[in-house]
């Protein structure tokens, strides 16, 4: 069995979502036709979907969507595509999109690996963001971490030359794994120097979770790799 086939069979997430709130369900019901993207077997035409051709950023696992909508509001000249498997998070994102009057956001409610393999065109993205993925902190569960060699190979095919893969985590050993995997890929180069972590770029919002962690003395590691 190839590493890639083995990787596809290991889930990096568990469906443990809570119940949808009334407002999240209402947002899903009313806004999905306008802002939702369905998992299919053909690569999507984002110029047609957004009605323009501008830089495109994809965020994998956006949680409740706070960072994604903050970035979209701050950079209306970019288009943003989100992938989130948990429906309450998708509902929260859509609610925020409506409240802020955003038109430059679309979202999938599906497994990121399936979306990347089936729906995202090659060489179509200017940025790929993975902020605070599940660390699967127990050693026996490290194989479930999404950042693996096969995963970065998939991401490399979706980024344009010069596009940026931005990862962030508050788990130091996961940060080291991200650095090892990114540094080993011939498709990427570390933007700030070999083996170096990056200061948090201004475009990545400082989340409430991260602010709380800083107060408790927790570290956060950002990694920026450019597509060669």
Tell me, yes or no, if 134 is annotated catalytic.
Answer: yes
Longest dimension (CA), the chain: 48
Q: Which residues contact 128 (CB under 8 A, 6 or more apart)?
A: 57, 58, 60, 155, 158, 159, 163, 164, 165, 166
Work out the pLDDT band at 17, boundaries 50, 70, 90: low
Statement: residue 5 has pLDDT above 80: no
Residue 12 or 59, more confident: 59
Statement: residue 51 has pLDDT above 60: yes
Domain spans, the chain: 3-227
User: In this predicted structure, what is the pLDDT of residue 136?
Assistant: 74
> Cα–Cα distance between 107 and 89 in angstroms, integer?
11
Weakest mean pLDDT among 5-14, 42-51, 149-158, 181-190: 5-14
Which tokens hold the place of 10? 């290991």
C-beta atoms surrounding 89 within 10 Å: 22
User: In this predicted structure, what is the pLDDT of residue 137?
Assistant: 77
**Residue among 134, 170, 173, 202 flagged as catalytic:** 134
User: In this predicted structure, what is the pLDDT of residue 79?
Assistant: 98
What values do phi and psi take at 190, rounded to 5? -65, 125
**In whole angstroms, how large is the CA radius of gyration of the chain?**
17
Statement: residue 10 has pLDDT above 60: no
Q: Which residues contact 142 (CB under 8 A, 6 or more apart)?
A: 136, 177
* Helix and strand element counts for the chain (H, E): 9, 8
3-227: what CATH class? alpha beta
Tens of pLDDT along 83-134? 999 999 999 999 999 999 999 999 999 999 999 999 999 999 999 999 999 9
Q: What are the respective helix, strand and coil percentages of the chain, to the nearest 5?
A: 40, 20, 40
Give per-residue burial for 46-71: e unless 16+ CB within 10 Å, then b: beeebeeeeebbbbbbbbbbbbbbbb
Statement: residue 140 has pLDDT above 50: yes
Tens of pLDDT along 171-222? 999 999 999 999 999 999 999 999 999 999 999 999 877 887 778 888 999 9
């Amino acid at each position: 069995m190839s590493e890639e086939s083995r990787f596809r069979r290991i889930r990096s997430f568990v469906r443990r979502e809570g119940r949808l709130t009334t407002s999240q369900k209402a947002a899903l019901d009313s806004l999905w036709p306008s802002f939702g993207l369905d998992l299919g077997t053909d690569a999507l035409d984002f110029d047609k979907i957004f009605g323009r051709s501008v830089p495109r950023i994809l965020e994998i696992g956006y949680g409740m969507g706070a960072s994604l909508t903050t970035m979209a509001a701050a950079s209306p000249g970019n288009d943003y595509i989100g992938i989130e498997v948990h429906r309450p998070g998708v509902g929260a994102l859509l609610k925020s999109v409506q409240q802020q009057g955003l038109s430059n956001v679309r979202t999938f409610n599906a497994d990121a690996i399936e979306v990347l393999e089936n729906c995202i065109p090659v060489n179509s993205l200017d940025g790929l963001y993975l902020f605070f993925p599940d660390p699967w902190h127990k050693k026996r569960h490290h194989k479930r971490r999404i950042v693996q060699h096969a995963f970065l190979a998939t991401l490399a095919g979706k980024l344009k030359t010069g596009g940026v893969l931005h990862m962030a985590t508050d788990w130091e050993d996961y940060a080291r794994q991200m650095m090892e995997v990114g540094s080993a890929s011939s498709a990427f180069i570390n933007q700030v120097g070999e083996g170096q972590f990056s200061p948090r770029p201004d475009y990545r919002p400082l989340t409430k979770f991260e602010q709380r962690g800083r107060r408790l003395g927790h570290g956060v590691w950002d990694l920026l790799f450019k597509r060669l």
